[in-house]
Amino acid sequence: MNKNLQIAIEASLAAGKVIMEVYDTAFNVELKEDNSPLTEADKQANDVINSFLIPTNIPVISEENKQTDYVIRKTWNTCWVVDPVDGTKEFVKRNGEFTVNIALVTNNKPVLGVIYMPATKTIYFANVDNQEAFKAGLESHSVSVEKVLQLAKPLQPKTGDSKTVEVVGSRSHMNQDTLNFLDSLKKQGKEVEIVSKGSSLKFCLIAEGKADLYPRFAPTMEWDTAAGQAICNAVGIKVISIETNKPLAYNKENLLNSYFLVSR
């Protein structure tokens, strides 16, 4: 196995352990400058992940790190892109749909990705160059990478066409751009079924064949999408910017993503 992918898996499991330790307490919720929630789980998971990634001597872009100026970042050929707790709102709601996202980006493209769902001990991981992506259900956050590999099963997206299109989104918070997109599908004679899921798990649903499309017409940051894009790209799923009609790029001057569409 790729050494950096192994490190990312180990980091995600260790982060998942501390996240669930906080999850089982009466934790406090702070608000960041952008009014997004922050908990002790975000901070502790970030510290744990940094402890694994910093020794690789590959720079780290993390939601919870102080961001390095672009004048320096633009010289990076390779970097980690990390969200210690993706879906902090889901964490606060205690609905389990939050993840640890760790991706390795080279030449502005995600080449390795790990998404770990600590509440169910479910891990997704991918090596884009090898065109391989896997899912494993674990018994513990403390299992070895060897055990993860033993339990791993390849991801297989949907094949063929169907009259019913399963679209990943929110049942209750559809914005107008998304509604317009769904209407365009219906005008093509498609029946649209909404599949609801939190955090970066939306990417995983497409990669494992449980949905067809994921239109994202709302703001996201690079750390929200890099690991999910790696997992999708590894099984031939495209993550295309609505703005550029090209794959989402990473380590940009502005770490905000454009709107995008994930599709087969």
Q: Is residue 118 part of a domain?
A: yes
Q: Quick one: pLDDT at residue 163?
A: 86
Identify the CATH number of the domain in which residue 23 sits.
Answer: 3.30.540.10
Q: Are residues 18 and 149 in the same domain?
A: yes
Q: Are residues 38 and 16 in the same domain?
A: yes
pLDDT band for 55, please (50, 70, 90 cuts): very high
pLDDT in tens, 90-125: 898 999 999 999 999 999 999 999 999 999 999 999
Q: Is residue 12 part of a domain?
A: yes
Please determine, for residue 15, whether its predicted confidence score (pLDDT) is greater than 80.
Answer: yes
| Number of structural domains found in the chain | 2
State which of 123, 154, 185 marks the end of a domain: 154
- For residue 239, give Cα distances in angstroms to 134, 156, 253: 18, 16, 20
Q: Are residues 135 and 185 in the same domain?
A: no
Q: Are residues 253 and 183 in the same domain?
A: yes
Q: How many CB atoms lie within 10 A of CB 186?
A: 11
Mean pLDDT for 219-227 is: 97
| Amino acid identity for residue 246 in this structure | K
Q: Are residues 121 and 198 in the same domain?
A: no
Q: Are residues 212 and 142 in the same domain?
A: no
Q: Are residues 171 and 144 in the same domain?
A: no
Full-model pTM? 0.96
Q: Is residue 9 part of a domain?
A: yes
User: Backbone phi, then psi, for 27, in 5-degree steps?
Assistant: -75, 155
| Amino acid identity for residue 254 in this structure | N
pLDDT in tens, 35-50: 888 899 999 999 999 9
